[in-house]
Chain A
């Protein structure tokens, strides 16, 4: 199945959770925020959030800024 991640199409395995995906990408879940179909997913719910075909996901983190 595929989702849109940060504006780009991405193939992922069915049944993957948000937590799984973040780890697959070598990211630390503690420093990432997620917006799934325009709703914010709290960090505590990453493991309970199963991704579905067609989902639009934004993963963001803090970077340097003024």
Chain B
């Protein structure tokens, strides 16, 4: 009997623990194929002023109907701006999930934990499913949990850097100490890094740049889907102990004698 691992989040029962993004695609037309190949069921978008020249394509045309939409509040520098963007995103009528992204440093794009917690509290009370993007700081994580976040989304490395799990030790601490699901978001550059995050016990990974900017995004999406699933299975399977000394796989006795007769 096949074991199905379900991730319950925001009233949904997800069978994929890979969340994907829609930014940085050279060709938005690849998005449906990436969703299919990766198995992802949750996808992020941003909210921006419409192109008044009417030229810009609308990303929604490329997002398969079964996907759960996760709009982000990118552009927000304060809690109030994040709240304003979140309410507008919800007004689109595509659900009430929101990724809170409050950033006032445009060089490193690091999230402001304090403003993120303030926005989380307001939006959670308004019934949003709040997924806040944050630096892996345990105190901020506790504030977000207290404020009503549905999960915590710590960065592995700064957005778009593909530098992997630079914050690995801090993510480990969050996974150990927090009851809320930990979704590693930002900086994951390769499927092996996503696999490692899942082996560590993360609930999910959010990957955008590494897929969208790959030479073959569809193939990379498939690789990420498999890697996240593999890492999750490894976590559930309970890895064996790590040892300093070698431990032989077969008994160190009963060898065939070198002279030709059995020992």
Binding site for B on A (CB under 8 A): 5-8, 25-28, 31-33, 35, 40, 42-43, 58-66
Chain B residues near A42: list those with CB within 8 A: 91
A58 engages B209 (CB within 8 Å): no
Asked whether B178 is an interface residue with its Cβ less than 8 Å from the other chain, the reply is no
Q: B82-106, CB under 8 A of A: which get 1 and which 0?
A: 0010011101111000000000000
Closest 8 pairs between A and B when the two form their complex, measured CB to CB: A65-B46, A66-B208, A66-B21, A64-B22, A62-B45, A26-B54, A6-B49, A64-B23
* Given A33-B88, A43-B93, A64-B54 contact (CB < 8 Å): no
CA gap between A64 and B91 in the complex, in Å = 18
Chain B residues near A61: list those with CB within 8 A: 47-48, 50, 58, 60
Measured CB to CB, the closest approach of chain B to A42, in angstroms, equals 6
Measured CB to CB, the closest approach of chain A to B244, in angstroms, equals 40
Q: B185-217, CB under 8 A of A: which get 1 and which 0?
A: 010000000000000000000101100000000
Measured CB to CB, the closest approach of chain A to B55, in angstroms, equals 9
Measured CB to CB, the closest approach of chain A to B249, in angstroms, equals 44
Cβ contact of B52, chosen from A5, A33, A65, A66, cutoff 8 A: A5
Binding site for A on B (CB under 8 A): 21-25, 28, 44-50, 52, 54, 56, 58-60, 69, 71-72, 74, 84, 87-89, 91-94, 159-160, 186, 206, 208-209
Measured CB to CB, the closest approach of chain B to A4, in angstroms, equals 12
Measured CB to CB, the nearest residue on chain B to A41 is: B91
A59 engages B49 (CB within 8 Å): yes
CA gap between A7 and B48 in the complex, in Å = 13
B72 engages A65 (CB within 8 Å): yes
Measured CB to CB, the nearest residue on chain A to B49 is: A6
Measured CB to CB, the closest approach of chain B to A56, in angstroms, equals 13
CA gap between A25 and B59 in the complex, in Å = 18
CA gap between A40 and B83 in the complex, in Å = 12
Chain B residues near A40: list those with CB within 8 A: 87-88, 91
Measured CB to CB, the nearest residue on chain B to A62 is: B45
Measured CB to CB, the closest approach of chain A to B150, in angstroms, equals 19
A64 engages B28 (CB within 8 Å): yes
Subset of 28 A-B contacts with CB under 8 Å: A6-B49, A25-B50, A27-B50, A32-B50, A35-B84, A40-B91, A60-B47, A60-B49, A60-B50, A60-B88, A61-B60, A62-B47, A62-B59, A62-B60, A62-B92, A63-B22, A63-B47, A63-B48, A64-B21, A64-B24, A64-B25, A64-B59, A65-B44, A65-B72, A66-B24, A66-B46, A66-B159, A66-B160
Measured CB to CB, the closest approach of chain A to B95, in angstroms, equals 12
A65 engages B22 (CB within 8 Å): yes
CA gap between A29 and B240 in the complex, in Å = 56
A63 engages B52 (CB within 8 Å): no
Measured CB to CB, the nearest residue on chain B to A59 is: B50
Chain B residues near A33: list those with CB within 8 A: 47, 88-89, 91-92
